[in-house]
Structure 1
Amino acid sequence: MSHTPHELAVEFPAHVVRMHDLKGTNAHFARLCDEYHEVNRAIHRAESRAEVVTEEHESMLRRQRLALKDQIATMLEA
C-alpha cells in the first residue's frame, strides 16, 4: 500500500472488492478513480513540498478531490 494519505482503499475500506469490480466493468468509474489518484498525488506532492504550488491551486485540488470522492462514493453505494 502507498504512503500517500487519502488513497481510495483507505477512504472506502469496506468497498475495496466492489471498487476493483467496478473498475473492470465501468469505464466511467475507472476514469473517476484514475483522476482521483492523480489529484490526490498532486495534493500529497504539494503538502510534502516536493512540488511548489500556490495556496489557491492547492485549495482547488482539494475541492476537486472532494468532488471526485463524492462521485465515487455515490457509485459505490448504488
Structure 2
Amino acid sequence: MSNTPHGLAEEFPADADKIQALKGSDAHFAKIAEEYQRVNDQIHRAETQVEPMSDDHETELRKKRLALKDEIAAMLRAAV
C-alpha cells in the first residue's frame, strides 16, 4: 500500500479553487471535507505505522474515505 496522503488538493488538483470557495460558502461541503481529511489522516497514520490498527479497521476507513470522496466529487461537479 502507498503511504502517500490523499489530500483533496491532490485528488482534485483542477478544482483547488472551487474546493476553497465551497469550504467558505457551503457548511455541508466544509463538514464533508473536514471529515475526509480526518479519515485520510487516520489512514496515513496507519500506513506509516505511527498509529497501527487492524486491517479490518483500516479497510473500513478506506471505504469511508472513498464514500466521502465520491460525495465531494459530486458536489464539485454540481458547483458552478
User: Partner letter of residue 48 of structure 1?
Assistant: T
Q: Displacement, 1:34?
A: 0.2
Shift of the alpha carbon at 1:5? 1.6
Shift of 1:59: 0.2
With normalisation by structure 1, the TM-score equals 0.94
TM-score by length of 2: 0.91
Q: Provide the rounded CA distance (Å) in 1 between the counterparts of 2:65 and 2:52.
A: 18
> Once superposed, which parts of structure 1, at least 4 consecutive aligned residues long, lie more than 4 Å away?
none
Residue number in structure 1 paired with 2:58: 58
Query: Quick one: percent identity of the two aligned structures?
Result: 55
State the partner residue of 2:43. Answer: 43
Match of 1:33 in 2: 33
State whether structure 2 residue 20 is matched by structure 1 residue 20: yes
- Deviation for aligned residue 1:37: 0.3
Unaligned runs of 5+ in 2: none
Aligned length in residues:
75
Q: Distance in 2 between matches of 1:52 and 1:17?
A: 34
